[in-house]
A and B are shown apart, each in its own frame.
Chain A
Amino acid sequence: MKDAVQRINVEYGLNLTDEEIEIITKQVEAGQRLFQKLYEVDVEGVVPALKIDPAERS
């Protein structure tokens, strides 16, 4: 994951320090662990809530 952060660093011209790259990498990894639970849900046939229609919300 550190490689991905470094690619962003170059692409965005950020000049991040090693310490900053470490912090961001840890945040990305923590996010990945959190989001992993989403993949455990059976979403067969479920349409994403991408159409943001207030009349249909909830």
Chain B
Amino acid sequence: MKMQDLENLTIAGVAPEVQSRKISPVELTRLFLARIVRLNPVLNAYVTITAENALAQAQRAEDEIAQGNYRGALHGIPFSIKDNIATHGVRTTAGSKVLDNWVPDFDATVVTKLKESGAIILGKTNLHEWALGGTTINPFYGTTRNPWDLNRIAGGSSGGSGAAVAASLCLGSIGTDSAQSVRNPASMCGIAGLKPTYGRISQYGTVPGTGAYSCNHTGILAKTVADTAIILSAVAGHDPKDRLSARQPVGKYAESLGKNVKGLKVGILRGYFEEVMATEVRQVFYDALAVLKKLGLETEEVTIPHMDLIPAVKVCTSRVENASAHDHNLRTRARDYSPQTLYAYLSALLVPASTYVMAQRVRRIICDEFRALLERVQLFAIPTVGFPAPTIEECNSGWLNIDGKKVRRQDARSGADSFCAIPFNVTGLPSLNVCCGFSSAATPIGMQIASGPFQEELIFSVAHAYEQATDWHKRRPVLEIN
């Protein structure tokens, strides 16, 4: 196998080869590490590379498989972990200066589960400072660049994970998503990204203050829907260490792939997010809906009465819950935050408690309205981000160019890049990004497929059917190595 061969590898494709010992986990790991050495200086996807640990894990996997102790589809598969998820003995920065030297003495539960599955951890991936933003332009660890166009952002906050998967610097990555942070980079990098139902994957070991307690989710980034389904089965489940984790049984999600999707009803969500939606994103999304219709799904446009209040609920909830986690550091290390992040947390300290409670009352109404919609439709579809990956220069200027108009990247409602994603953080409903086309600048565009609580199987079956009917997910960025 050569380094270029990694580009077309998927977990579903390579796992049987690893099991049958046609491919060696050690050889695979060495190839990925060599590719990281070659491409990471350009992409800045990884902030820490754990080559020695990875090779030791790969040797152990190889020995176990040789002895007939194959653990399953993730055995010997190289992964990366977003750097706000605790890794035993490996620096975990949360993209912050405050934690630049923090080396946890424990693993997050999701990391423990990956290790128990025999996965190989190649390193930690870059993120927006404290996961508080969608660009992964990080003042302390540098900017992660989009593998499809190095002048553009990879999205965020799990931008390093998105770039690493898209550039074949790992086969899967674990991220977190409190506003968009898995789905946004997945969309901008042209890969699959799942924010599961709230509580589906344990959050134990996610750095506090890198996403609001009640909006944050541990999520998955991978090249295909099938790979995402395989990973979810390995890392989901109740965790006594996370009181917010769910007790619902974990499915064999990969088995849902290939199920008949004819007759399912998809609600096309309408609302405030259409204000900031590029014409080409709209067109690509409509083309994707046409594919779903060809597959036999029925569509209808839907909304909820309080849709426009979702940004207010989300911003209020996130600000207050995040600020509570940062209180000590704000009192002792305020100047170790970037100015933008510091100002955001300080302004959050002045949100009245009564406003927070009001936001939670409106949130209840919004959740009930979505529940009512789910009696009419089984799924939702909506673009993931209203515009393709902007340039780094645009993000630094604070202005985006959408259809020739200058649009503020951020207003009181937060980043415009999060508008389509946050309904599912407020409600906790599962949502998955699939690549559904490319922009005129040849950068990926994504579509979310979402559903009711714990309906990940249904999402996987539809998203996989969509992937099988298209070839967007097979495209790969052309990188210098080629």
- B402 in contact (CB, < 8 A): no
Q: Are B343 and A24 in contact (CB under 8 A)?
A: yes
Contact A58/B358 with A1-B350, A23-B343 known, Cβ cut-off 8 Å:
no
Q: Are A28 and B453 in contact (CB under 8 A)?
A: no
- Chain B interface size band reads 35 or more
Among A27, A33, A37, A41, which residue has its beta carbon within 8 angstroms of that of B347?
Answer: A27
Q: Are A54 and B312 in contact (CB under 8 A)?
A: no
Chain B residues, Cβ within 8 Å of A38 = 309, 312-313, 316, 355, 358-359, 362
Chain B residues, Cβ within 8 Å of A14 = 330, 334, 346
Q: Are A35 and B306 in contact (CB under 8 A)?
A: no
Q: Are B343 and A43 in contact (CB under 8 A)?
A: no
Given A30-B411, A54-B244, 17 more A-B residue pairs with CB atoms under 8 Å apart are A13-B334, A28-B350, A31-B351, A33-B412, A34-B316, A35-B315, A37-B308, A41-B306, A43-B361, A46-B364, A49-B361, A52-B214, A54-B245, A54-B248, A57-B429, A57-B453, A58-B370
Contact A46/B361 with A5-B350, A28-B350, A34-B315 known, Cβ cut-off 8 Å:
yes
With A and B bound together, what is the CA distance between A3 and B428 in angstroms? 37
With A and B bound together, what is the CA distance between A24 and B334 in angstroms? 14
Among A1, A8, A39, A49, which residue has its beta carbon within 8 angstroms of that of B346?
Answer: A8
Binding site for A on B (CB under 8 A): 197-200, 213-214, 244-248, 306, 308-309, 311-313, 315-316, 319, 330-331, 334, 339, 343-344, 346-347, 349-351, 355, 357-365, 367, 370-371, 374, 411-413, 427-429, 452-453
Q: Are A24 and B364 in contact (CB under 8 A)?
A: no
Chain B residues, Cβ within 8 Å of A28 = 347, 350
18 contacts between A and B (CB under 8 A): A8-B350, A12-B334, A12-B346, A14-B346, A34-B316, A35-B312, A35-B351, A37-B312, A38-B359, A41-B306, A41-B361, A46-B362, A47-B361, A49-B360, A54-B246, A54-B428, A55-B247, A57-B427
With A and B bound together, what is the CA distance between A47 and B344 in angstroms? 28
Chain B residues, Cβ within 8 Å of A30 = 411-412
With A and B bound together, what is the CA distance between A41 and B228 in angstroms? 39
Chain B residues, Cβ within 8 Å of A20 = 339, 343
Which 3 residue pairs spanning A and B have beta carbons closest together?
Answer: A54-B199, A48-B360, A57-B428
Q: Are A34 and B312 in contact (CB under 8 A)?
A: yes
With A and B bound together, what is the CA distance between A1 and B360 in angstroms? 24
Chain B residues, Cβ within 8 Å of A48 = 357, 360-361, 363-364
Chain B residues, Cβ within 8 Å of A8 = 346, 349-350
Shortest B99–chain A CB gap in Å is: 19
Q: Are A43 and B350 in contact (CB under 8 A)?
A: no
With A and B bound together, what is the CA distance between A48 and B357 in angstroms? 6
With A and B bound together, what is the CA distance between A44 and B71 in angstroms? 53
Chain B residues, Cβ within 8 Å of A1 = 350
Chain A residues, Cβ within 8 Å of B331 = 12-13
With A and B bound together, what is the CA distance between A30 and B351 in angstroms? 11
CB-CB nearest in chain A for B246: A54
Max count, chain A CB within 10 A of own CB: residue among B312, B319, B330: B312
